[in-house]
Amino acid sequence: MNVHVQGCTVATDGTPKPVRRESGQREVFCGLTGIVWLHRKIQDAFFLVVGSRTCAHLIQSAAGVMIFAEPRFATAIMEEKDLAGLNDANDELDRIVAQLLARRPDIRLLFLVGSCPSEVIKLDLSRAALRLSQKFSPAVRILNYSGSGIETTFTQGEDACLASLVPAAPPPTRTSEDQLLIVGSLADVVEDQFIRLFDALGIGRVQFLPPRKAMALPAIGPNTRFLLAQPFLSDTARALEDRGATRLAAPFPLGVEGTTAWLRAASDSFGVAPALFEKVTQNHRVRAERALVRYRDQLGGRRIFLFPDSQLEIPLARFLSRELSMQLVEVGTPYLHREHLAEELRLLPDDVVLSEGQDVDLQLDRCRAARPDLVVCGLGLANPLEAEGMTTKWSIELVFTPIQGYEQAADLAELFARPLVRRAKLVA
């Protein structure tokens, strides 16, 4: 397949970092996978995928190990007659949504989630969402986004979902002051920590997207400034900017350095005195750095190879190299948003090998040739690589674990240390 290595000038301190662009076989999830954590984050929402049996099978293979008394996602499986145009797709959708809402009257927000089959046959779910919203409002709001594999990779499903929420958010009241909005799904405990920190910094009411309840959408307007908590939110950022909101450029809140810079971006923007910033963050910084020491001993100097998965790879690589002294062999990402990651790229070592996209067999060849100490990869590759004698850290866990903020810095380091500790422990 085609490999272009080109000196893309990523804005860094003068040294362009080349990015290897690969196309070929990709071993990644589609955006539908976002449903697996979004259904927990927004508790009164329901996700209805319009797709094929493959889509239904994907979600239940991921989430079906948990036993649900009340499922919060389902698939409207298209059949032969839907494809042949014998059924009016809109009538079918109306019937299914009515059936679903009758069964689950507690649903407040329903997402119609597009898939590869629905996109390929150009089924217009946005109009269906509009029509159904009129029918079921005010009890239920119905929105649409696409989680198809042809358009989205893994965490981009969350991006598409949040971007669909933005137009539904209320306008700000005229007298309202500037608001800080934190964008991206965070663990509840991490959200609470950030609320306390912003509170201590004197930054007023902080809001979150997504909210924990569908009906509690934050107001968005020209007085909204937002911080991205996750690196994969390009469409959401654009939708927010279209409503007049301003993005605060910052690295992502992973590790001590990332969290400090992220908080500082908000503090500077809201005119917090540097002395206050120091005072509020100092104990947290010292404590987190102290907790990181043991992991630096375990991980320092180890060589790590990251396969593309979630777009978290670049911030993670920055944390691993700068705060834990790991050596980066290759940092793969499914998609590189140069503007949102500019602050991160600046902090990476100058000789870093970055790759965007994937040809999985070639990338595996490079990985085997390098024999890194630790490979970060998806679950389709993890056990096979372990069987070849490599130590792996499965990457999906980084999306399902509280890793942001000061108090989680050591937890994040521990996730990478654990497979190495385990390999050293096991005798049989």
Partner 1 sequence: MQLTVWTYEGPPHVGAMRVATGMEGLHYVLHAPQGDTYADLLFTMIERRDRRPPVTYTTFSARDLGGDTAELFKTAAQNAYDRFKPQAMLVGASCTGSLIQDDPGGLARALDLPVPVVAVDLPAYQRKENWGAAETFYQLVRMLAGPSAPAPGTPRPQRAAGVRARCNLLGPTALGFRHRDDVAEIASLLAKLGIDVNVTAPMGATPADIARLGEADFNVVLYPEIAGQAASWLQRTFGQPFTKNVPIGVSATRAFVEEVARLAGVDASATLASDSTRLPWYSRSVDSTYLTGKRVFIFGDATHAVAAARIASDELGFKVVGLGTYSREFGREIRDAAKRYDVEPLITDDYLEVEAKVAELQPELVLGTQMERHIAKRLGVPCAVISAPVHVQDFPARYAPQMGFEGANVIFDTWVHPLMMGLEEHLLAMFKDDFEFKDGAVPSHLGAAHGAGDAGKPAQPVQMPIAVPEAGAIWAPDAEKELYKIPFFVRGKARRNTERFANENGVATITIETLYDAKAHYAR
Site for partner 1 in 208-247 (CB under 8 A): none
Crossing angle of helices 274-299 and 255-269, in 10° steps, is 160
Measured from the CB atom, the residue of 62 and 420 that comes closer to partner 1 is 62
Closest distance of CB 363 from partner 1, Å: 13
Contact with partner 1 (CB under 8 A): which of 380, 400, 421, 422?
A: 380
411 binds partner 1 (CB under 8 A): yes
Phi and psi dihedrals of 194, rounded to 5? -65, -40
Per rule CB under 8 A, is residue 412 in the interface with partner 1? no
Cβ proximity to partner 1, 154 vs 252, nearer residue:
154
> Residue 131, interface with partner 1 (CB under 8 A)?
no
Instruction: Give the residue with the Cβ less far from partner 1, 11 or 215.
Output: 215
Restricting to residues 284-313, name those near partner 1 by CB under 8 A. 287-288, 290-291, 294-295
Residue 398 CA to chain centroid, in angstroms?
9
| Smallest distance from partner 1 to CB 219, Å | 27
Q: Are 162 and 234 a contacting pair, CB within 8 Å?
A: no
Residues 171-210 that bind partner 1 (CB under 8 A): 188-189, 192, 196
**Binding of partner 1 at residue 282 (CB under 8 A)?**
no
> Sign (positive/negative) of CA torsion 184, 190, 196, 198?
negative
Query: Could you count the other beta carbons within 10 Å of the beta carbon of residue 307?
Result: 28
Q: Which is nearer to partner 1, 8 or 379 (CB)?
A: 379
Instruction: State the nearest-atom distance from the C-beta of 169 to partner 1, in Å.
Output: 26
User: Secondary structure of the chain in the HEC alphabet?
Assistant: CCEEEECCCCCCCCCCCCEEEECCCCCCCEHHHHHHHHHHHCCCEEEEEEECHHHHHHHHHHHCCCCCCCCCEEEEECCHHHHCCCCCHHHHHHHHHHHHHHHCCCCCEEEEEECHHHHHCCCCHHHHHHHHHHHHCCCCEEEEEECCCCCCECCHHHHHHHHHHHHHCCCCCCCCCCEEEEECCCCHHHHHHHHHHHHHHCCCCEEEECCCCCCCCCCCCCCEEEEECCCCCHHHHHHHHHCCCEECCCCCCEHHHHHHHHHHHHHHHCCCCHHHHHHHHHHHHHHHHHHHHHHHHHHCCCEEEECCCCCCHHHHHHHHHHHHCCEEEEEEECCCCCCCCHHHHHHCCCCCCEEEECCHHHHHHHHHHHCCCEEEECHHHHHHHHHCCCCEEEHHHHCCCCCECCCCHHHHHHHHHHHHHHHHHCCC
Cβ nearer to partner 1, comparing 27 with 330: 27
Q: Binding partner 1 by CB under 8 A: which of 40, 136, 151, 246? A: 151
Cα angle 140, 142, 143 (rounded to 5 degrees) comes to 150
Nearest approach, Cβ of 267 to partner 1 (angstroms)?
20
Q: Which range, of 31-39, 162-170, 208-216, 335-343, touches partner 1 by CB under 8 A? A: 31-39
**Residue 130 contacts partner 1 per CB under 8 A:** no
**Window 309-348: residues binding partner 1 (CB under 8 A):** none
Residues in the interface with partner 1 (CB under 8 A) total 81
Contact positions with partner 1 (CB under 8 A) in 349-368 = 361
Q: How far is the CB of 129 from partner 1 (least distance, A)?
A: 16
CA gap 37, 92 in Å, rounded: 28
Residue with smaller CB distance to partner 1, 55 or 348: 55
Please report how close the Cβ of residue 32 comes to partner 1 at its closest, in angstroms: 7
The residue from 53, 127, 213, 371 that contacts partner 1 (CB under 8 A) is 53
Question: Closest distance between partner 1 and the C-beta of residue 239, in Å?
Answer: 19
- The residue among 79 and 242 lying less far from partner 1, judged by its C-beta, is 79
Q: Smallest gap, in angstroms, from Cβ of residue 61 to partner 1? A: 6
Interacting positions 58-117 with partner 1 (CB under 8 A): 58, 60-62, 64-65, 67-71, 74-80, 82-83, 87, 89, 92-93, 95-96, 99-100, 103, 116-117
Rounded to a whole number of angstroms, the minimum distance from the CB of residue 387 to partner 1 is: 4
> CB-wise, 14 or 69, nearer to partner 1?
69
Decide whether 169 or 390 has the Cβ nearer to partner 1. Answer: 390
